Structure 1
Amino acid sequence: MFSTSPTTDQSQLHEQLDNGQVKLNLTPAELLEQSLARKEGTLTDTGALMTDTGKFTGRSPKDRYIVSDETTKGNIWWGSINIPLSESHFDNILDRMCSYLKKSPLYARDVYAGADARYRLNIRVYTTLAWHNLFCHNMFLRPDQEELQHFKPEYTVICIPEFEADPFVDGTRGKNFTIIHLSKKIILIGGTAYAGEIKKGIFSVMNYLLPLKEKVLSMHCSANIGKAGDTAVFFGLSGTGKTTLSADPERKLVGDDEHGWTNNGIFNFEGGCYAKVVDINRDREPEIWDAIKYGAILENTRYFPGTRTVDYTDKHLTENTRTAYPLHHIQNAIVPPLGTIPKNIFLLTADAFGVIPPISKLNNSQAMYHFISGYTSKVAGTEMGISEPKKTFSACFGAAFLPLHPTMYATLFGKKMKDHDVNVWLVNTGWTGGSFGIGTRIKLSYTRAMITAALEGNLKNVTYRTHEIFNVAIPQTCPNVPSNLLNPRDTWENPLEYDHKAHQLALAFAENFKQFEDFASGEIMAGAPNS
């Protein structure tokens, strides 16, 4: 554990929040009853609780702040991702939130992050919504009854969707906010009911503590482990298949989102999964489908008219419809969620430009370069104002949650790759045969077959060719995958158009990487494409 006792501020805060109406560590059944009685949601025909998150159906990264003080001001990667807030503004908001809660029913939950006991972080979460408390039960690791008797919170999260900031007084951009105070070990969330802000707030804390103090690589990734004890890690931004591809019936799931990599292996930060469910069906994603049962939560979905059956194709509220369920809802989840040293790492991208090969092998330089770049693309229809594919780069596949400079994570990533001789693969789950609107999406069955081949060593002795622009190694054959799919240029009707689009994408990589060049080593820069 990071520390053995809570700070004085933590103890005083808990006393201040104890208004005589705090419901501590209710069971999932009790929280479901409370949620239904308070009309916070309805029960689906599978027994899951369906809720709405209101105005915000996703995170609001421009409204996330870190308190700047003597401890943090020299360590944080300040900018548009980590926005500074003064201590006085924080104190003022905290005082008003505590006053607001004086007469309000409050749910509290003791949980922890970090399945490896050496890096465990004890947390107490206070919420005004019963379903938020159930969300925390599902998503974080759950102490047993004996542990609860001696539980000492090290971090406190207060989430009050009904409480709004005053931008003119509080120094915030708007009425909603997530504020992380790393010195006082407090996270404040207000003005938004999107539950993902809670889990990502704690993820940001772990991303600060682990690399800086423990030299452990924190990762925005999913992970699973094979029958032979071989661990695989999947990095990828939303929509790339990170959760889907790690939920493999032939392998045990370690986790779908947040992990740490030590010298002994990897460990999940969480005790649950937070999966996207837009257009989900049982044939394509049976593990996730079956996990949406009693105790699970659905966010912003809708029913077929006149039924309690969820219509997962209904996205008029948002495409970011989600489910939150505990890991044990996945039949083949491993408990406790610990894995060995990774043998294979997959960097996933949904390339809407049809340029990136469906699978390619990276050398160390390329792996570090693509890890820092964190490329994927958004396509028309997924966000307001997007009429054509949009390139997206997110450092280390999780820039929104990185308090430290990306090169610190990338350096740790590179060191661990070398120390443990890991295979790193770049996998395109996006388009082939042309860009979005012309080409087609690569079939999930083919992507699964390519990943299976990599995991089973079936790509070890095949012939490779070097991509003309990105210099990555492309296998020329793969079991259960058409050979003509493997070379993206060959799938385009006009290869010269492919070359033009590939040069455009390479230039975009180079332009994005300019922000890191002053901190990147020659080894990392050697992994860049030919632009």
Structure 2
Amino acid sequence: MVMEMEYPNPLDTDKPMTSLSNKVYFQCTTETLVEQTLERGQGRLSDSGALCINTGKFTGRSPNDRFIVNDETTAASVDWGSVNIPISTTVFDGLLAKMTSFIADKELWVRACYAGADPNYRIHVTVINTTPWANLFCQHLFIRPEEGDLQNFQQEWVILQVPEFLANPIVDGTRQENFAIINFSRKMILIGGTAYTGEMKKGIFSVLNFLLPRHNVLPMHCSANEGPDGDVALFFGLSGTGKTTLSADPLRKLIGDDEHGWAKDSIFNFEGGCYAKCIDLQADKEPQIYGAIRSGSLLENVCFVPNTNMVDYSDSRITENTRAAYPITHIALAKQPSVGKTPSNIFFLTCDAFGVLPPISKLTIAQAMYHFLSGYTAKVAGTEIGVTEPQTTFSACFGRVFLPASPTTYAALLGKKLEQHPDVNVWLVNTGWTGGAYGEGKRISLRHTRALVAAAIHGQLQHTSFMPHPSFGILVPQSCANVPSAILNPRDTWQDKNAYDLQANKLASLFIQNFEAYRQQADEAIRKASPQVLQAVQ
């Protein structure tokens, strides 16, 4: 609907919306947004009924162009550096003024929504977009207020997303033409020069990562599901580790697939939908995601089978980062509202291409904090020109780029939660290689990984014996139903035991080197949870 004058201008609540633009559409339905996108020639429908669009130059986030305003609110509380790049209030105010003037003659789509399924911790967000499909993304990914809630909606945060507006780096103080700027004092996010919708989602995630620890709520980059008896499992992991695959369980309800908060006695989803990677998507491997991509869903940067409207999910000509956005209700077993109890099991997923880590191991609280700070996985050889061996990737808290505060802040809060809830089990799960490193060994069977995760969730691993790993000290179960015992201890799967020991020492050294950034702030128990470099077998 086109707004009349009674709705306030989100950028200046003392003025009516018509002072911002006289072409404003407020709280449009999914059907209307799809229709408007097609009418403007900005998208097309797939054979499943999903709306397919192209985000243009940017098909992913641009972390080097994401800034936080450095002012009295943030100066002493943000961990400034290459992740959190400071920018001045003057630069922000100048860009806001220019963007406001720029959109005066543009069509605008405005949406009131929430971030946070728990009413005690949610924030109220107003989003302003210059395309209907970007507003559709927000309709799916943020939480949709009930009709009655809109009458008393109290705006807290504003996202102004104007991809057509390009900054002048020399004049405007940005690095290049695109930018995403968070202002915690003004409670605003400005996004310009990029149409990639994920900037909005992750901008609000960064906001919650800044705000929630002050309320003793741990923000987490993880998926969550719930069993028939109400037990909750969390899955942390970087790209390629199996987070989405393992959390999509046909016997468990999905609480959420990406962003959650751990409050005093509950886990709650930050979002109202899913933003799933869909490169190489297949119905038999990811049936829930495949089935969720239907009428009303948004597909970004996909290619089509020639002369058809069938999506070719294997085609990466535009990007490897093809995405599907849809409301969580498109998942048959989604839980509504997206809230669960304190977790019973937490899984840290890693794709260890070195072939060193066990397929599953249990962590102490100190080890959990250490591996949370590490956020390890590995890229395999052959993925890039010149890469001849596995490359380590460490991303603190499994989402370093979204953390305004120091990673030790979040690790300390995790430790506090685990001490308050001693029955919570934390597991390290390797979905990578065994019997050798990448190129020599083989990938751990998904069937075996699922069996190990299921055994952990159902308490079956509590009844087996555990042995500490020689280098990493993590506790390795010695038996598990439906899993060959021979694969549980990774050293036993290598023909050349000395080669394994050398590889374990190499990986341990990389962990130790990465942890140096946090060593001074970590307590003695966490420092002792570090892996050890041992003398290799001769």
TM-score (normalised: structure 1):
0.96
Match of 2:335 in 1: 334
Which of 472, 492, 498 lines up with 1:490 in the alignment? 492
Distance in 2 separating the partners of 1:449 and 1:383: 32
Please say which of residues 199-208 and 161-170 is displaced more in the overlay: 161-170
Distance in 2 separating the partners of 1:17 and 1:368: 51
Match of 1:453 in 2: 455
2:277/2:321 contact within 8 Å kept = yes
1:38 Cα deviation from its structure 2 partner:
1.7
Please say which of residues 69-78 and 316-325 is displaced more in the overlay: 316-325
1:319/1:382 contact within 8 Å kept = no
Pair 1:501–1:12, CA change in 2 (3 A)? farther
Pair 1:498–1:317, CA change in 2 (3 A)? farther
Pair 1:17–1:455, CA change in 2 (3 A)? farther
Q: Does 1:86 align with 2:58?
A: no
Q: What aligned pairs does 1:229-308 form with structure 2 within 5 A after superposition? A: 229-308=230-309
1:10/1:156 contact within 8 Å kept = no
1:354 Cα deviation from its structure 2 partner:
1.5
Q: What aligned pairs does 1:141-156 form with structure 2 within 5 A after superposition? A: 141-156=143-158
Aligned residues: 525
Q: In the alignment, residue 470 of structure 1 is paired with which amino acid?
A: F
Distance in 2 separating the partners of 1:13 and 1:312: 46
1:167/1:173 contact within 8 Å kept = yes
SS at the partner of 2:518? coil
Match of 1:3 in 2: none
Pair 1:415–1:288, CA change in 2 (3 A)? same
1:7/1:154 contact within 8 Å kept = no
Match of 1:217 in 2: 218
Q: In the alignment, residue 370 of structure 2 is paired with which amino acid?
A: Y
Distance in 1 separating the partners of 2:14 and 2:307: 50
Distance in 2 separating the partners of 1:149 and 1:420: 40
1:44/1:50 contact within 8 Å kept = yes
Distance in 1 separating the partners of 2:458 and 2:94: 56
Gaps of 5+ in 2: 1-7, 534-538
Distance in 1 separating the partners of 2:429 and 2:291: 27
Match of 1:22 in 2: 24
1:310-353, Cα deviation, whole Å (9 max, x unpaired): 22111222221111111100000000000100010000111122
1:488-510, Cα deviation, whole Å (9 max, x unpaired): 22222322222111111111111
1:414-443, Cα deviation, whole Å (9 max, x unpaired): 011111111000011122222222222222
1:452-489, Cα deviation, whole Å (9 max, x unpaired): 01000110111222111111111121222222222222
Match of 2:404 in 1: 403
Distance in 1 separating the partners of 2:202 and 2:386: 26
1:470/1:528 contact within 8 Å kept = yes
Match of 2:110 in 1: 108
1:266-291, Cα deviation, whole Å (9 max, x unpaired): 11000001111122211111111111
Match of 2:55 in 1: 53
1:521 Cα deviation from its structure 2 partner:
0.8
1:10/1:154 contact within 8 Å kept = no
Match of 2:4 in 1: none
- Identity rate, percent: 55
Distance in 1 separating the partners of 2:24 and 2:380: 45
Distance in 2 separating the partners of 1:38 and 1:204: 32
Match of 2:319 in 1: 318
Distance in 2 separating the partners of 1:8 and 1:100: 16
2:9/2:19 contact within 8 Å kept = no
Q: In the alignment, residue 453 of structure 1 is paired with which amino acid?
A: A
Pair 1:382–1:99, CA change in 2 (3 A)? farther
1:380-432, Cα deviation, whole Å (9 max, x unpaired): 56567756432111111111010111111111100111111110000111222
Distance in 2 separating the partners of 1:431 and 1:12: 60
Q: Does 1:194 align with 2:196?
A: yes
Pair 1:307–1:485, CA change in 2 (3 A)? farther
Q: What aligned pairs does 1:2-13 form with structure 2 within 5 A after superposition? A: 11-12=13-14
2:361/2:429 contact within 8 Å kept = yes
Distance in 1 separating the partners of 2:296 and 2:435: 43
Distance in 2 separating the partners of 1:105 and 1:517: 52
Pair 1:183–1:381, CA change in 2 (3 A)? farther
Distance in 1 separating the partners of 2:301 and 2:482: 37
Match of 1:378 in 2: 379
Q: In the alignment, residue 423 of structure 1 is paired with which amino acid?
A: N
2:11/2:158 contact within 8 Å kept = no
Match of 1:165 in 2: 167
RMSD over aligned CA atoms reads 1.7
1:10/1:155 contact within 8 Å kept = no
2:10/2:126 contact within 8 Å kept = no
Match of 1:508 in 2: 510
Distance in 1 separating the partners of 2:453 and 2:133: 37
Distance in 2 separating the partners of 1:211 and 1:444: 35
SS at the partner of 1:90? helix
Distance in 2 separating the partners of 1:526 and 1:389: 26
1:9/1:184 contact within 8 Å kept = no
Match of 1:140 in 2: 142
SS at the partner of 2:98? helix
1:94-140, Cα deviation, whole Å (9 max, x unpaired): 11111110111111111100111111100011111211111001101
Distance in 1 separating the partners of 2:308 and 2:448: 35
1:217-257, Cα deviation, whole Å (9 max, x unpaired): 11111100101110111111122122221111100000011
SS at the partner of 1:118? coil
Q: In the alignment, residue 311 of structure 1 is paired with which amino acid?
A: D
1:44/1:308 contact within 8 Å kept = yes
